[in-house]
Amino acid sequence: MAITLKNEDDIAQMRIAGKLASEVLDYITPHVKAGVTTGELDRLCHEYMLNVQGTIPAPLNYQPPGYPPYPKATCISVNDVICHGIPGEKTLKNGDALNIDITVIKNGYFGDTSRMFIVGEGSILAKRLVQTTFECMWRGIEQVRPGAHLGDIGHAIQRHAEAQGYSVVREYCGHGIGQVFHDDPQILHYGRPGTGIELQKGMIFTIEPMINAGRRDIRTMPDQWTVKTKDRSLSAQWEHTILVTETGYEVLTVSVGTPARPALAAATA
Ligand code: MF3
Ligand code: CO
Ligand code: CO
């Protein structure tokens, strides 16, 4: 496994790409309302990337081995869709909980980030799951520093999710990112402290836990992309792109609209 360590020039480019990805989420936020279709949200994001930012949507025509080309500019995953929801005719309604996942390419560098949205007033469960998943991402981020192990990140996420009675999706993980979309290392969202490779200054990777209200089992739809919970329970995900710094971490996917880091209790509840 070869992990690219980024130099200062790479890091400067990754800050730009990360901010742009986050700004697409800022832009789309006021459009996430009951009555809009996910296809319309995708079209707006795509136009913003092309016409305002001069960025390329990385998902469009993305084709990992064994997959058909991904047909849209964004992933929009509603309710029991865990990830890779393909935007289309689906109309949002009050109470829907959805993830919008944006990956842009700028000057050859990739920025990857996602946020959750709740349409109108969500159920207590939806609000709790979305908040807990946000805390899970941040508990993972807080582990990042040189000398920490990958398993420390996974463990912090898993422990917090399972303490609330939720489950961690195992089939998808965070990933190294830079001038490649999905690179080594894989960032598992579960694990044991002290296991896995040691983090080093200059690594850049995503942390993007997918947390289910019910069981962790998944099923993939016939479109070969859309992944849902097998038990049809609600699923949530948040994602940031993270740089390992000399003393800790830097979140690269930040913009004015980025939700603030939550207050995290010292002891895991
Ligand atoms: N943005 C997703 C991630 O966080 C990957 C989407 S691949 C796509 O890794 F083809 F579905 F868009
Ligand atoms: Co990602
Ligand atoms: Co993503």
What digits encode the pLDDT tens for the residues 4-37? 999 999 999 999 999 999 999 999 999 999 999 9
Confirm or deny that 171 is annotated as ligand binding: no
pLDDT band (50, 70, 90) for residue 264? confident
Percentage of the chain modeled with pLDDT above 90:
97
The pLDDT score that the predictor gives to residue 269 is 46
What digits encode the pLDDT tens for the residues 96-134? 999 999 999 999 999 999 999 999 999 999 999 999 999
Query: Cα torsion for 185, 189, 190, 191, to the nearest 10°?
Result: 30
The pLDDT score that the predictor gives to residue 153 is 99
Confirm or deny that 47 is annotated as ligand binding: no
The mean of the pLDDT values for the chain is 97
Distance from the CA of 159 to the center of ligand 2, in angstroms? 21
Quote the CA–CA distance of 135 and 122 in Å, as a whole number: 18
Q: Is the pLDDT of residue 74 over 80?
A: yes
Find out whether 90 and 119 touch, Cβ atoms under 8 Å: no
Confirm or deny that 135 is annotated as ligand binding: no
Residues in the ligand 1 pocket, defined by CB under 6 Å: 59, 62, 70, 75, 84, 101, 103, 112, 206, 208, 225, 239
Quote the CA–CA distance of 230 and 216 in Å, as a whole number: 8
Confirm or deny that 112 is annotated as ligand binding: yes
Burial (CB < 10 A; 0-12, 13-18, 19+), residue 37, is middle
Which of 24, 25, 70, 103 best tests ligand 1's pocket when mutated (most atoms within 8 Å of CB)?
103
Higher-pLDDT residue of 149 and 265 is 149
Average pLDDT rounded to a whole number, residues 146-167: 98
Residues 6+ apart with CB under 8 A from 205: 174, 175, 176, 177, 185, 187, 241, 242
Distance from the CA of 196 to the center of ligand 3, in angstroms? 23
Find out whether 171 and 180 touch, Cβ atoms under 8 Å: no
Confirm or deny that 46 is annotated as ligand binding: no
Domains and CATH numbers, the chain: 8-251 (3.90.230.10)
Per DSSP, the three-state class of 158 is helix
Distance from the CA of 194 to the center of ligand 1, in angstroms? 28
Q: Is the pLDDT of residue 215 over 70?
A: yes
Q: Is the pLDDT of residue 261 over 60?
A: yes
- Taking the CA of residue 70 as reference, the ligand 1 atom at the shortest distance is 10
Q: Is the pLDDT of residue 210 over 60?
A: yes
- Taking the CA of residue 175 as reference, the ligand 1 atom at the shortest distance is 9
pLDDT band (50, 70, 90) for residue 228? very high
For ligand 1, atom 10, which residue shows the shortest CA distance?
A: 59
Average pLDDT rounded to a whole number, residues 39-57: 99
Q: Which two tokens stand for residue 183?
A: 């690179």
Tokens 């940031």 belong to residue: 240
Average pLDDT rounded to a whole number, residues 36-58: 99
